[in-house]
Every structure is written in C-alpha cells, then in structure tokens.
Structure 1
Amino acid sequence: MVRMSAEEPEELPAYAERVLEVAELIPPGRVMTYGDVAEWLDEGGPRQVGRVMALYGGAVPWWRVVRADGALLPGHELRALGHYRAEGTPLREAGRAAEGHLPKLDMRRARWDGGTHT
C-alpha cells in the first residue's frame, strides 16, 4: 500500500532513495514492476521494492511501479487509474463478462525497460 501523506522522514534509507530515484525515471505512460526496479538496481527483490513504495512512494509517481500481473494497486485503484488515463498508459479494459471491474495495465505495451523515453 502506498502511503499518501505528504510527511517525509528526515532522511531516507539509502536503498529507499535508490528505489525512489528509479521510480522518478519512469516516463509518463510507462511502468516498471517491483521486480524490474530491483533488477535495475541489482539489489533487493520485489518485496523490498514494494515495501519502499508503501512507506515512501507518495512523493514520487508511485503509480508507475506496479505488480507484474498488471492489476491496479488495491485501495488506490481509482487514483492510479486517473493517472494512467491522463498519461495515456496502455490499459486492457475489462470485458463484458467483467462489467463493473477495473481495467488492468497492458503490461506488454506499458512496461518500460529503462531504455529510451518512448
């Protein structure tokens, strides 16, 4: 879960700073998974990145660091969806059988590999 308060600790742990720096590099309309961020840093794993985002992610574009299955962050779905739509992030809309359900991210098209900002 992403902490949405504006409160910032006086000093972030070094690993948290590195995770948040990667989150800020992700271009609008693109995403990286928790595992992608850990791999980019060559340190930690998806759970560690998720923990950092939960504790400190409110100060960065938290909606761009996501679950590998493309599901929207529980408890923050509508807020994230607003960001995705505003940025043009590729989504897979819920089909008729899933009426009333929220879309998922189209991970094949939305995932950013850390290369060019396209």
Structure 2
Amino acid sequence: MVVLAAALLLPVLAYTLTVLVPFATSDLDELPLPELAAGALAPGWPHSGALDLAGVAALVLVLLGALLSLGGAALQLLALLPADRRTLTPWVAAALALVAVGSVATLYWFLSPLGSALTSWQLD
C-alpha cells in the first residue's frame, strides 16, 4: 500500500515542481487553451533544456505511476475482499481506496481541457 502511494505521489510531486509551478509563475496560465496547446511561449518561462527534459520525464512517470497505482490498488482490494474479511482492516481498505481515487483524479487531470493542453504544450 505504501509503495502504491509512493508510486503515485512522487511523480505527481515531480510533475508539480517541473511543470505546474513554472507554468503558473510564468504567466502561461493567462493564455487561451488553443494557444497553449499550440506550444506558445511566455516571456517569463524559465526555458532550459534540463527543466524541459525533467518535465517530459515527470509527465511520463506521473501517467505510469497513476496507472500502476490504480491497478495495484484494485488488484489488492480484489485479492483481499473475498478471501478472509479479518485480513482486510478498514484502514487498509480506506488507504487503498484513497490511492485508487487519487489515481483516477490524476488521470482525469490529463484528460481535462487544461491538462491535455498543458501536455500538448509540454511535448512541443
């Protein structure tokens, strides 16, 4: 359970630090979504090769981490439920459900209009 939470939270933290924080601080958030998706640059963007590479790596890792965490939480819940209810404490079930909800929310972010525009912009 802790491994699944770390597989979700660490890439989300890396994505936040390498993509979302520079995006918000460089006034790119004021651009219309079609311009952002087209790869527009703002004058305040800290454009460097290392930050761009780290952002793309974080993008890939956060998607893989969310899918891995969602699948792992679902498999653990399915494996524990029918066998013996005494082995599944309410805290473990709640933590696995929280990991699953966090994974779904992360995946939903990338499917949202802003998330998909930001992904297109990051990959340009």
Q: Which gives a bigger RCO, structure 1 or 2 (Cα 8 Å, sep 6+)?
A: 2
For the criterion TM > 0.5, the same-fold answer is no
Q: Would you tell me which structure has more helix in proportion to its own residues?
A: 2
Question: Rg larger in 1 or in 2?
Answer: 2
Q: TM-score, normalised by structure 1?
A: 0.30
